[in-house]
Amino acid sequence: MKIFTGNNNPILSSKIVSNLELLNCSDASCDFKNLKIETFSDGEILPLFKESVRNQDVYFVQTTNSSDAIMETLLVVDAAKRAGCSSFTLVSPYMGYSRQDKTDHLRSSIGSKVLADILEKVGVTSLLTIDLHASAIQGFYNIPVIHLNGNKIFIDYFKSQKIEDMCIVAPDQGAVKRATDFCKAFPESTFAMINKKRTKPNEIHSMELVGEVKDKNVIIVDDMADTLGTMKKAADLIMMNGAKSVRAVAIHGVLSGNAIENLNTSQLSELIISDTIENVLNIENPKLKIASSAPLIAKTINALSQRKSIHEINYV
């Protein structure tokens, strides 16, 4: 087994390797200098393996949240397959285009299906990812998809906080399963949800709270923190209904547009995200906390390399 990293995830990849060493994963070979990704002056990408990958199980860590990252990934897969690798597992902590899982608008694309077709065609033999925006996206692939439960990243943190009168809130209908899974780790907590109507992406028409949050310490559980406009409105609505405090958890910290401004002016006491998108590591904000996804990914890679079940690793 050999592990390589793309330009999008060098820090996370190093953490994954460190965790594999703690797990005594002797099968792993990791020297990130042995995959050189050159870029010509016009932006053209050329990946070069500096070591043999023949008959090896290759794991490539790359968040596919930009066109350059996707193209880089495709060329790395092609290079590895042409060099005779036995299998190629794309470890994409955050899969780009996962919000495009259906045609919500007339004559629009289904970006996640297009990406699935391309990755399969070029030679990816399995995909390891965390919390797809819509779990049904797994059905777009005809290869194994190891879909990790991102809640596992945060549960230990909240158990250490010993928060009383906890209420878990799903910010929309699509987050209900994710939030109810989170509830399993906190049997004493209650549950509520927000029903919202959108007029277009990143814009909410109306929101209503379903459930009781009065005198509760609320945790909003979602998969993605993008502009935080919705999260800010949700926090305002929750506090207006008598909550003691409100926090938010989001596995993927996209944090685009006015996200930081919205965080600073929101009633959120803290936002906890993971490092699936490394850009967030450059942000310093007292309300922002970052938990590492590396231990969860490393445990999964270790189990896969030994042909073991990942059920216990992935179960909340």
pLDDT tens readout for residues 49-86: 999 999 999 999 999 999 999 999 999 999 999 999 99
45-49 and 35-39: which strand pairing?
Answer: antiparallel
C-alpha neighbours within 13 Å on the C-beta side of residue 106: 0
Say yes or no: 34 and 73 in one domain: yes
Say yes or no: 75 and 113 in one domain: yes
Say yes or no: 165 and 112 in one domain: no
Rounded mean pLDDT, 278-301: 94
Closest C-alpha to 123, from 68, 53, 67, 190: 53
What's the rounded Cα separation, in Å, for the pair 253 and 292? 12
Dump pLDDT digits (tens) for 77-86: 999 999 999 9
Say yes or no: 10 and 117 in one domain: yes
Say yes or no: 10 and 143 in one domain: yes
Active-site amino acid positions = 196
Say yes or no: 27 and 141 in one domain: yes
pLDDT band at 285 (very low <50, low <70, confident <90, very high): very high
Dump pLDDT digits (tens) for 227-265: 999 899 999 999 999 999 999 999 999 999 999 999 999
pLDDT for position 226: 94
pLDDT band at 200 (very low <50, low <70, confident <90, very high): low
User: What is the helix, strand, coil percentage profile of the chain, to 5?
Assistant: 35, 30, 35
What's the rounded Cα separation, in Å, for the pair 119 and 122? 5
Dump pLDDT digits (tens) for 120-152: 999 999 999 999 998 999 999 999 999 999 999
Secondary structure of residue 144 in the 3-state scheme: coil
pLDDT at 9 exceeding the cut of 60:
yes
Dump pLDDT digits (tens) for 187-196: 999 999 999 7
In which domain, by residue range, is 31 found?
2-149+295-314
Dump pLDDT digits (tens) for 86-128: 999 999 999 999 999 998 777 889 999 999 999 999 999 999 9
Say yes or no: 301 and 279 in one domain: no
Closest C-alpha to 249, from 162, 183, 200: 183
pTM of the model: 0.92
pLDDT band at 288 (very low <50, low <70, confident <90, very high): very high
pLDDT for position 205: 63
CA distances from 125 to 16, 254, 302 (A): 21, 27, 17
Total residues found in the chain within this entry? 316
How many domains, the chain?
2
Say yes or no: 197 and 114 in one domain: no
| Domain CATH for 223 | 3.40.50.2020
Question: Tell me, what DSSP letter sits at residue 149?
Answer: -
Dump pLDDT digits (tens) for 212-232: 999 999 999 999 999 999 899
- Residues 255-264, buried b or exposed e (16+ Cβ, 10 A)? beeebeebbe
pLDDT above 90: percentage of residues in the chain: 83
Say yes or no: 64 and 123 in one domain: yes
Question: Tell me, what DSSP letter sits at residue 241?
Answer: T
Say yes or no: 163 and 284 in one domain: yes
Say yes or no: 16 and 145 in one domain: yes
Closest C-alpha to 85, from 125, 56, 48, 120: 56
Strands (E) in the chain, as ranges, are: 2-5, 29-30, 35-39, 45-49, 57-61, 87-92, 126-130, 145-148, 166-170, 190-200, 203-210, 217-225, 245-253, 270-274, 288-291
Say yes or no: 11 and 101 in one domain: yes
pLDDT for position 26: 62
